[in-house]
Structure 1
Amino acid sequence: MTSPRKILFISADQWRGECLSALGHPVVKTPHLDALAADGVLFKRHYTVVAPCGPARASLQTGLYLMNHRSGRNGTPLDSRHTNIAHEVRKIGFDPMLYGYTDTSADPRGRESSDPALRTYEGPLPGYTVGLLFPEYMRRWMSDLRRKGYRFEGRHDVYQPKPGFQKPADRGYRFIPTLFSAEDSDTSFMANEVVDWIGDHSNQDWFMHCVFLRPHPPVITPEPYNALYDPARIALPARRATPEEEAATHPHIAEWIDKLSKPSSYDEHNPLNLVTMPELELRQMRACYYGMMNEVDDAVGRIVQTLKDTGQYENTLIVFTCDHGEMGGDHYTWGKELPFDPSFYIPLIIRDPRKAADAARGRHVDAFTESVDVMPTILDWLGLDIPAQVDGCSLLPFLEGATPADWRQEAHIELDFRGGPNGGIDGEQAFGIASNDCQLAIIRGRRWKYVHFAALPPLLYDMENDPAELNNLAGDPAHAGVMLEMAQKMLSWRLRHQEHVLSNLHLGPDGVENRERKATAAE
């Protein structure tokens, strides 16, 4: 009898890629994720191909670049014609479970205008069986809090600072913890649900997609996570001397700085101006963000231990990643919709239980990998065909100790900044441009990073000599050749990956013929 095959696909929300102690972060300690990496493979140059949450998860689940799935904003419908990982694993008998959220906006075609699915961008991806959906999970969690005696009105104040808490003078506002304990937090509630489900399914195949909200804002965490990191030890963000100097570098950056200077534009219940806050408050915000990561790290540790305790660890493919990054004060900005690396550089750890993966345990892969690679990797591990729509490539060779020939030399990223009701900036109003002009694309190589805006000036950074992206070289005549080279690479990438589902099919006397010649690896 074949041993059960299990996939545990864990996603956090808004996790900066360098924030793993396995990567040598000077402050953050992530022991459980480090242990997972030591028994698996850590991808050191992993990037989401798009932000914010809904678009990033659309790419993660479909293997498609934004230019092909076109769900570019939270609330932009995801075309139902695209298959996804949940649909694909159903083909071999899995009932894929979702605990958390995918922020999938339903395709409105064929639905009545009164359909409740068209009133939210937080819907589940078609194909998943929902064990605990985020909006429902929030309500169930809040009901659990009320049963335990906590007092609050609803979602708008469940993350309020703990009433009556007296913080020390050498700690900032974000040292104040949540009103609920760590044992009763949303992260703990989610982990409890996942642990219970895994324990009930030890003798069968399963596919579980578990999504944690944290370290997504609001930037607040329960005790003792609020006190894990001394703000005095936290580095200040990378930025120019003043917000005005930073804003002068590009209109897109200026618009975000202006937005974030307004109350509640990013972090609820926070009275501070996030652009001009004092140094102690800035360090404390970052320290709290790191503490939020530790809460997720501990939750992942509990889940992995459950797999071991129930005898399932050696049958389970474990993937840990997230949707997008977090600016964390760099360039006077917060969130994930700036054209800088902190918005898009994210973690990826994969633990493959097979004997074929033993040689690669503890490996750190330095090649550029992308969020669109996760879906085909899981399908490949299961022995499934990878759909023609997929833009990413399987990472299975890396998990087995190999390095594919001709692997991509850059990461490719897109961002849509048109206005909408679910956050972001209003690109049309801010810049006086058309909706379809509110887009940028990035090609990020080892040295050069080029950012092309459809209707705004470009950006060029020398990532070897200016890793903080403080010096835009796009207007320097001495770098015109680099600009041309990177623009040509971007154009070739877009030509190569524009939708191609039917491109290689040909109709003739013998019917439908597929004449596709596969590339040897990602390009």
Structure 2
Amino acid sequence: MVARRNILFIVIDQWRADALGCAGNPVLKTPNLDRLAADGVLCRRHFVQAAPCGPSRAALLTGTYQHNNGVMRNGTPLARRFTNIALECRKAGYDPALFGYTDTTADPTGLPPDDPALRTYESVMTGFAPELHLPELPYPWMADLKAKGYAFADDVTEIYRPAAPAGDRGPTFPPARFKAEDSITAFLTDRLLDFISVRRNGSWFAHAAYIRPHPPFIAPEPYNALYDPADMAPPRRAATAEREGAQHPLLASYLRSQNLASYFVTGQGLVADLSDADLAQLRATYYGMVQEVDDQVGRLLDRLKEWGLYDDTLIVVTSDHGELLGDHWMLGKQGYFDEAYNVPLIVRDPRAAADGARGTKIERFTEAVDVMPTVLDWLGLDIPRQCDGRSLLPLLHGMAPADWRREVHWEFDFRGLGAADSEVALGLPMDSCSLAVIRDERFKYVHFAALPPLFFDLAADPHCLNDLSRDPAAAPAMLAYAQKMLSWRIVSSGRELTGMHVSSKGLHVRP
């Protein structure tokens, strides 16, 4: 009898690395994710390769850097030539099931102009079987709410309108109109458990993409009131928004344009003008939203154990990007700051080979592009040459590869998608609206295609408030990091066919 090998791959949207109890957060309670980390490993220096959702998930699910996959913004097509984690796992007989979304924009090549796929950036990535597709308008959940007697227009904005007016604790404190047991988080978990319940005797692959704690910042009772805003840490930022914006033209453009209406339904004015009290409550609400997801993950873990599946299942929990939460006077995931790219990664390999590393907190740098190679390696499948990452199995099994990376990289594209974007504001051509980051333990270098660079000494300035790019004393170190970034781009350029050679003897493929 062949041993069952299941894969539960969870992506929690907009979840920053420090929003986790086992990562050292002194306030936030995430007991279920903490117990999973205690039985697996927590990668503390894990970074995604792009933002926002579409570009980041393209990198995560194809194992490729942004400069290779070409997905620059939400709505940028992913070329058909790329394989992905679902297509590769199908080679082993899996039918990867999607619960949630992949935010994939279809390749328009060969599609007629009126094809519905050309009207959304939320198509399902090829290879996934959409058991429960929950795009921006999550129709299955909306139908479930209406069947339960909730009355609202067919508009997600109406669903997230609070049940009561803002009071003394600010606009993000009032609870949602739906009960916690009827939330989109609980709805997805219910459907996922239904799926697993009738597949207990076979092998399955389930990809669960939870939308929360992505905005709007609103939580159902009791999660809206679990945390006291007085317990929230103050934001990491300059004394004023004006001083923050002086760091770089791109940052200044965001501080002039970020609108609160993008983050909660009743928002008015600019993010930079949010009062300290309202920001503290927003942070408290965000913590409540995270704890709601943690509770649902707990349901999954408990049921897997009850059904005897826990020790047959590789569990991967991560995020597509972080959330600034008022740091640097911003919300969301724009720009180059760590808070938008450093996210949790928890992996539990159920096999005995991982027993010696259980409960480990890995301090080596890991990247989102490592997830696909890890899953394929765990299944004994070949890792496609397109992949820019590498398998984490050695780290999960307590090994310390001497050649492991010593830095991480990410990219961000800020070409225009509307009046509030920076392409017009900065007077740049579309293809020059990009940046790339290299970051290690000591320094962080940010290179812009058509704007001044940034350079930070992380030992002295861990929150990147003091740019050293114009300091002559920092010039030698900055040059060294610019050269390392250039080497990274050369080595990581698209390589699908570069290891092949054709001669009179035929095709030779280097291993």
Taking structure 2 as the reference length, the TM-score comes to 0.98
Instruction: Establish whether residue 239 from structure 1 lines up as the match of residue 240 from structure 2.
Output: no
Provide, for residues 104-161 of structure 1, a one-character-per-residue CA deviation record: whole Å limited to 9, x for no partner: 0000001111110110001100011110111398111112112222221122210001
Aligned to 1:135: 135
CA pair 281-136 structure 1, distance change in 2 beyond 3 A: closer
Quote how far apart the aligned CAs of 1:485 are: 0.6
Quote how far apart the aligned CAs of 1:263 are: 4.7
Instruction: Establish whether residue 309 from structure 1 lines up as the match of residue 306 from structure 2.
Output: yes
Aligned to 1:453: 448
Provide, for residues 32-82 of structure 1, a one-character-per-residue CA deviation record: whole Å limited to 9, x for no partner: 000000000110100001111001000100000001000110000001100
1:389-400 alignment, distance < 5 Å? 389-400=386-397
Structure 2 distance, partners of 1:166, 1:420, is: 31
Provide, for residues 304-361 of structure 1, a one-character-per-residue CA deviation record: whole Å limited to 9, x for no partner: 1111111110100000001001111011111111210001000100000001111111
2:211 equivalent among 213, 218, 234: 213
Aligned to 2:510: 515
Q: Secondary structure at the match of 1:205?
A: coil
Quote how far apart the aligned CAs of 1:249 are: 1.3
Q: Contact between 1:427 and 1:435, CA under 8 Å: does it hold in 2?
A: no
Instruction: Establish whether residue 329 from structure 1 lines up as the match of residue 330 from structure 2.
Output: no
Structure 2 distance, partners of 1:425, 1:375, is: 34
Structure 2 distance, partners of 1:166, 1:440, is: 39
Aligned to 2:262: 265
Aligned to 2:458: 463
1:406 equivalent among 403, 421, 441: 403
Structure 1 distance, partners of 2:402, 2:62, is: 24
Unaligned runs of 5+ in 2: none
Taking structure 1 as the reference length, the TM-score comes to 0.95
Q: Contact between 1:236 and 1:282, CA under 8 Å: does it hold in 2?
A: no
Counterpart amino acid of residue 289 in structure 2: M
Instruction: Establish whether residue 161 from structure 1 lines up as the match of residue 162 from structure 2.
Output: yes
How many equivalent residue pairs?
Answer: 510
Structure 2 distance, partners of 1:14, 1:481, is: 36
Structure 2 distance, partners of 1:291, 1:490, is: 39
Counterpart amino acid of residue 87 in structure 1: L
Q: Secondary structure at the match of 1:174?
A: coil
Structure 2 distance, partners of 1:263, 1:349, is: 32
Structure 1 distance, partners of 2:16, 2:503, is: 51
Aligned to 1:42: 42
Counterpart amino acid of residue 412 in structure 1: H
Aligned to 1:200: 198
1:489 equivalent among 484, 500, 510: 484
Aligned to 1:279: 276
Structure 1 distance, partners of 2:21, 2:229, is: 18
Aligned to 2:78: 78
Aligned to 2:292: 295
Aligned-pair identity (%): 53
1:175 equivalent among 173, 176, 182: 173
Provide, for residues 475-500 of structure 1, a one-character-per-residue CA deviation record: whole Å limited to 9, x for no partner: 11110011101001100000000011
Deviates more, 1:412-421 or 1:209-218: 412-421
Provide, for residues 260-296 of structure 1, a one-character-per-residue CA deviation record: whole Å limited to 9, x for no partner: 1x45133332236421222211100111011110011
Aligned to 1:520: none
Structure 1 distance, partners of 2:179, 2:267, is: 20
Quote how far apart the aligned CAs of 1:428 are: 2.3
Structure 2 distance, partners of 1:481, 1:5, is: 51
Provide, for residues 15-35 of structure 1, a one-character-per-residue CA deviation record: whole Å limited to 9, x for no partner: 011111101112111100000
Aligned to 2:61: 61
Q: Contact between 2:325 and 2:331, CA under 8 Å: does it hold in 1?
A: yes
Q: Secondary structure at the match of 2:296?
A: helix
1:352-431 alignment, distance < 5 Å? 352-420=349-417, 425-431=420-426
Q: Secondary structure at the match of 1:495?
A: helix
Counterpart amino acid of residue 110 in structure 2: G
Deviates more, 1:442-451 or 1:23-32: 23-32
Structure 2 distance, partners of 1:303, 1:355, is: 22
Counterpart amino acid of residue 339 in structure 1: Y
Quote how far apart the aligned CAs of 1:370 are: 0.2
Q: Contact between 2:53 and 2:74, CA under 8 Å: does it hold in 1?
A: yes
Structure 2 distance, partners of 1:114, 1:341, is: 40
Q: Secondary structure at the match of 1:156?
A: helix
Aligned to 2:223: 225
Q: Contact between 1:16 and 1:326, CA under 8 Å: does it hold in 2?
A: yes
**Cα RMSD (Å) of the superposition?**
1.3
